[in-house]
Amino acid sequence: MNAPLPYDPNRLAHCAGEIIVCTRELAARGWTPATSSNFSTRIDEHHVAITVSGRDKGRLTEADIMVVDLEGQPVATTARSSAETLLHTQLYKRDPGIGCVLHTHSQNQTVASRLYAGNGHLHLEGYELLKAFPGTHTHETELDIPVLPNSQDMHTLAAQVDALLDKGPLWGYLIDGHGLYAWGRDVAEARRHLEAFDFLLSCELELRKLR
């Protein structure tokens, strides 16, 4: 007889369903090229549902979603999640209000990260869509998206993210040559932040070509 699962399997099924729908839609836009990108939602205080490493994000099924604890260790599974799992779990661990983390590799995100890596951030202002972020009620807002140097050492990256979070509210960051992390209290909010970031990056890149 199997040991009982340390999480509610019905809650996992719900989380997996939400990840699958969201991920397929983002894959259809070309934001997850070559099996890249990873997606997670919170199951409960101690567990997170996350995509299994290396799967085609346009064809996800329940078998492509696994459970990790807040240290990023697999729970009741032999599947393996991405090395970047730590960048997801650090957020869930730090802020109980975070319910979803989305990491994608769109062309806009990758190109913007390369162009603004030297600055360490990309500055946004004058856009109505800045109101997509909580606590922003006007377009007369400024927002800096941090751009971190890429690294294969997740502890190095996680420490830099922690330092950014210490400074104040944050809804996402870029990694140079890599992609974007965005999050929110649930899938809908994380998705709204992700879409707003990508749209604003695309506008900045177009304006840079046109000015």
Q: Is 64 in the site for a copy of itself (CB under 8 A)?
A: no
- Within 141-180, which residues bind a copy of itself (CB under 8 A)? 150, 152, 175-179
The correct pick among 10, 78, 128, 135 for binding a copy of itself (CB under 8 A) is 128
Q: Is 88 in the site for a copy of itself (CB under 8 A)?
A: no
* Complex with a copy of itself: residue 17 or 46, whichever CB lies closer: 17
Q: CA nearest 29: which of 194, 209, 206, 208?
A: 194
CB atoms within 10 A of CB 121: 16
Q: Which is nearer to a copy of itself, 96 or 134 (CB)?
A: 134
Q: Any contact of residue 45 with a copy of itself (CB under 8 A)?
A: no
Residue 207: φ, ψ to 5°: -65, -35
**Complex with a copy of itself: residue 67 or 198, whichever CB lies closer:** 198
Alpha-carbon torsion angle 81, 87, 91, 93, nearest 10: 60
Dist. CA 21–CA 42, nearest whole Å: 16
Do residues 177 and 112 make contact, with C-beta atoms less than 8 angstroms apart? no
144 C-beta neighbours (distance < 10 Å), count: 16
Contact assessment for residue 190 and residue 184, using Cβ atoms and an 8 Å cutoff: yes
Q: Which residue has the tokens 């085609």?
A: 56
Neighbours of 25 (CB within 10 A): 12
Query: From the CB of 106, what's the least distance to a copy of itself, in Å?
Result: 9
- Measured from the CB of residue 83, what is the shortest distance to a copy of itself in angstroms? 10
105 marked as part of a ligand binding site = yes
Position 26, amino acid: L
The answer to the question of whether 103 is labelled as a binding residue is: yes
Among 95, 139, 156, 159, binds a copy of itself (CB under 8 A): 139
- Span interacting with a copy of itself, options 12-20, 45-53, 93-101, 129-137, rule CB under 8 A: 129-137
Count of beta carbons in the 10 Å neighbourhood of residue 47: 22
80 touching a copy of itself, by CB under 8 A: no
Give min distance, CB of 122 to a copy of itself, in A: 12
Size of the site for a copy of itself (CB under 8 A): 48
The residue within the footprint of a copy of itself, chosen from 11, 35, 165, 185 (CB under 8 A), is: 35
Dist. CA 109–CA 121, nearest whole Å: 13
74 binds a copy of itself (CB under 8 A): no
Tell me the binding residues. Answer: 103, 105
